[in-house]
Structure 1
Amino acid sequence: MAVREKKKSSIVLRRWNFQIFGWIAFPAFWLVGLRVGVDDGSVFSFLAVSLLLGGCALVFWILFFHSKVIVTPKGVIIFDLLVRHDIPWEEVKSIGSDGRFTVKTSSGEEIGSIQYGGALLGELTGYPSHRKAIRLSREMLEKSSAAPSSPSDGVPPEKLSTGKLHIPFKSALLLILAFVLFVSLIHVSTNGF
């Protein structure tokens, strides 16, 4: 699991084995794009295929690199595919169940992360990659419980969002444009205009 300090009070959590799979799968789309760029075909089919492959690369990027868990003094933020969960510590009832990383809220909702989801191997081994994330989150929860209680930025807990649509438009557009540019440069350098 990759743990990166974000500011001094926040911790960004990502699973290292999830990241490795992403680093293996993500370049596969670029290699296929390289093949498409070398191919001599019509401009329309070339652009259609490069946009399709760029979209697939985007899904892998969102799945493996954009998804993360951020533990802050105010609460836990879970970024999944297209959903962001902002859960203040006042609403957290427990963290981790059966060794898996989940956040159970006081309303009874159980929220997990795609990076810390269940798997057969994890069930058999007791989720060793989740233990550090659970431990760090519980430590932050205990610190926030020990601190004097104060409303989260003046917003009542029932008004705080626990699941909203989050689409990284700028990053998505940049990734697809970079992919199309890469394939276009290969196409032009091998086939000419």
Structure 2
Amino acid sequence: MRTTPVERPTVLRRRSYTWFPVVSGAGFYVAAIALPLEHGDGFASAILLTGISYFCWLIGWNSSFRFTRTHVSVTNVLVTTTADWRDVAGVDIEGGLAGLLRDGRSLDSIAFGGSLIGEFTGYRTHRRACRLLRQGWWGAGPGRRGKGPVPVRTSVEWRRALAIATALYVPVVLVQGLGG
């Protein structure tokens, strides 16, 4: 049986928006592992700090634009919204990076959202991602759809989130449990 290879999406993340939460989350995680085990509240504090690490990962690393030759998607925290390139009317950088759908809605990312500094600087940190998204949109070629509501798929990325939560919490629970 022949299978078609799966196309790997191009992933766009805003570097400063990604690395600050990830490094902060790593710091909270190290603190969670290294908490003094003698304190009675060490376990609760470790769980809380691990939760903060997890939230930092969700906001920073997980939030992104992804696209293939046929579709574009945006992940904000746990929710991914996907649309066919044929339903995208354009890619805009005004007020933050967004894929504009032909029915007037937009695919917005919290990582590439608007800001006061961005308004003054012209969203310099968004320009490369905007250029790449536009290339993906242009590369999708003709075949734009007609009128009517755009069908978008919304999904919760629970498998990836559960895997990361497990990878974060299991070591903390083991270290805290074995030490106490």
Q: Which TM class, normalised by the smaller chain length? A: 0.7 to 0.9
**Number of aligned positions between the proteins:** 170
- Aligned letter for 1:12? V
Alignment of 1:167-182 (within 5 A): 167=158, 168-181=161-174
Question: After TM superposition, where is structure 1 displaced by more than 6 Å over at least 4 residues in a row?
Answer: none
* Counterpart Cα distance in 2 of 1:50 and 1:123: 39
Alignment of 1:51-130 (within 5 A): 51-98=47-94, 100-130=96-126
* Counterpart Cα distance in 1 of 2:113 and 2:54: 21
Q: 1:178 to 1:56 in 2, by over 3 A?
A: same
What value does the CA root-mean-square deviation take over the aligned residues?
A: 2.6
Q: Deviations over 1:59-103 (max 9, x none)?
A: 001111111211210111111112101111121111114162101
| Deviation for aligned residue 1:174 | 1.7
Identity of matched residues, %:
25
State the TM-score, normalized to the length of structure 2. Answer: 0.81
State the TM-score, normalized to the length of structure 1. Answer: 0.76
Match of 1:143 among 131, 139, 149: 139
Q: 1:179 to 1:112 in 2, by over 3 A?
A: farther
Structure 1, unaligned runs of 5 or more = 1-6, 152-156
More helix by share: 1
